[in-house]
Structure 1
Amino acid sequence: MLKAVEKRRAHQDIVKQIRALIEKGRLKRGDQLPVERELSEIFRVSRATVREAIFNLEASNLVQRRQGDGTYVIASSEEALIQPLAAALFHEKDDIIDIFFIRKIIEPEVAQLASENRTPEEIDELEEILREQEKEVKSGENPIHTDSEFHHLMARMAKNRVLERLLITLVDLLGKTREKYLQTEERKQKSLHGHYEILAAIKNGNGKAARRAMRRHLEEVEKTLSNKKKGGGKRSPS
Structure 2
Amino acid sequence: MPDQDSKASAVDEVVGQIRGLIRERGLGVGDVLPSEVELAEMFASSRNTVREAFRTLKAYGIAESRQKLGAVLTDQHHNAMRDLFAFAMDVSTDAFQDIQGYRRLTELNLFDLLAVHLTAEKLGEIETVNSAILTASNAEAASEIDFKFHMLLVTAAGNRTLTETYGMLKPVIQRLMMAGKSRRSTLKSVFGEHQAIIEALRNKDRIGFSYHMDRHLSAGLVFIPNAVVSRDPKRK
Give the SS at the match of 2:204: coil
Q: Deviations over 1:53-77 (max 9, x none)?
A: xxxxxxxxxxxxxxxxxxxxxxxxx
Q: TM-score, normalised by structure 2?
A: 0.50
The alignment of Structure 1 onto Structure 2 pairs a total of residues equal to: 137
Cα shift at 1:112: 5.0
Structure number with greater Rg is 1
Cα shift at 1:214: 0.7
User: Which structure 1 residue ranges, 5 or more long, are not aligned?
Assistant: 1-85, 232-238
Cα shift at 1:157: 0.9
Greater mean deviation of Cα atoms: 213-222 or 201-210:
201-210
1:127 aligns with 2:127: yes
Indicate conservation of the 8 Å contact 1:148/1:171, yes or no: yes
Q: Could you tell me which amino acid in structure 1 is paired with residue 177 of structure 2?
A: R
Aligned position for 2:26: none
User: Which structure 2 residue ranges, 5 or more long, are not aligned?
Assistant: 1-81, 229-236
Indicate conservation of the 8 Å contact 1:201/1:209, yes or no: yes
1:101 aligns with 2:101: yes
Distance 1:186 1:141 in 2: 13
Distance 1:150 1:111 in 2: 15
Distance 2:110 2:222 in 1: 21
Distance 1:132 1:206 in 2: 25
Cα gap change, 1:134 to 1:124, in 2 (>3 Å) = same
Cα gap change, 1:115 to 1:219, in 2 (>3 Å) = farther
Q: Deviations over 1:175-219 (max 9, x none)?
A: 222113312222211111110001111122223321221111011
Distance 2:192 2:104 in 1: 18
Q: Could you tell me which amino acid in structure 2 is paired with residue 174 of structure 1?
A: I
Aligned position for 1:164: 163
Give the SS at the match of 2:179: helix
Indicate conservation of the 8 Å contact 1:108/1:211, yes or no: yes
1:222 aligns with 2:216: no
Cα gap change, 1:131 to 1:116, in 2 (>3 Å) = same
Identity of aligned residues (%): 20
1:183 aligns with 2:147: no
5 Å matches for 1:4-83? Answer: none
